[in-house]
Each structure stands twice: as C-alpha cells, then as structure tokens.
A = this chain, B = another copy of it.
Amino acid sequence: MKLLKEKMVKEGKVLSETILKVDSFLNHQIDPLLMKEVGDEFANRYADQIITKILTIESSGIAPATFLGLTIGAPVVFARKRKSLTLTDHLYSSKVHSFTKNETNEISVSKNFLSADDNIIIIDDFLANGEAVKGLLDIAQQAGAQVVGVGIVIEKGFQEGGKLLREKGLRIESLARIKSLAGGKIEFFEDGEY
C-alpha cells in the first residue's frame, strides 16, 4: 500500500535492525485518513469473503479495524490485555508473549461477542513473531468461529511469524512487508515476494 509505505519512510524511526517506531501515525498518534485508507484496503483484499466479525487487540488495532468495520458493516471486538485476570468467568482467554516488551499478557474476549456462527477476520497493527495473532486465533478457536484470514498493517517480513502462520494455511494480508531495517533504512518486499 503506497500511502502507508511512504508514511513509514517519511515518519518511521528505525531504532535497530529489528525495531521500527511508527508512533506518529499508528501506535500513539493516529492519522485518521491513513487509517481509513488502511481499513478500506483490508475491505478490498477480503472482498471475496463474508465477514461477520472483526477481531483485534487493544489499542493500536482498534482504529484500522473500526474503519474496516464501517466499510463492510461488521462489528469490531477488541481483546483486552491484562497482566493477570482475576475474573475469568464467561471469557475466552489466551496468553500472548511480547518479545519487544519482554512480558506475557493474558488477553480475553467476552463469550457474548464471539460464537460458532462467526466468520472472523483478525486485524493487528504489527506482525513480527506472530504471538498476538496466535492468541487471537486461539480465542477464535475456543469460540468455534471460522477465521477467514488476517489483516496486518505492517509485517516485519524478516521475522518468522508470517512464514509460520502462512505455512499452516492461514491467509495473511499485510499492507507493508518489511524485508530489512539494516543500516537504518526500510526496505520492503514487493507484493507477492517472499
């Protein structure tokens, strides 16, 4: 997605060979127009699918997921993150390890909002090791729901999450796939290049 990649190059900060900071439009400050374009692009890529629910995780997945939801007319459910859950009643929950923050969070979704009748798309801001997507897949499976695919804003294509999940047959649509952050420069995979 051209607009997204341009924004990443212009405003992203390469902090190391594995860390790109995009706080100015995605993770802390949000560019609403870009998020609308991102949501619309997810809708285009999954136009062949019937989606009844969008599953994301707080907080940076919420804006793109909500624009997708507006475009396709489906509600969004965001999984909540907690260090530990005291109340696990009536919840689907799973554990997600963040390598960046070196912490494990329990994520949870109320059983009221996902069911075996749902066709779900999973949306997230970043895909690196795939931990968040795996946790959301686990929750979708607990609900007995079908997962149509995954939509990712930025994939760190040099880390293995995307590869492992695709090998399992999961459809993943990433709007920008980073090949390398070496030398402080963002290099992208072309569409279809792996």
Contacts and interface: CB of A to CB of B under 8 A. Distances in A.
Number of chain copies forming the complex: 2
Interface stretch (A2-10, A76-84, A173-181): A76-84
A66 B69 contact: no
A69 B62 CA distance: 14
Contacts of A75: 25, 29-32
A66 B66 CA distance: 9
A75 B34 CA distance: 10
Interface of A: 23-25, 28-33, 35-36, 58-59, 62-63, 65-67, 69-70, 73-78, 80, 83, 109-110, 112-113
Sorted nearest first, the 8 A-B pairs with minimum C-beta distance are: A32-B69, A58-B59, A32-B70, A30-B76, A29-B113, A63-B66, A59-B59, A62-B62
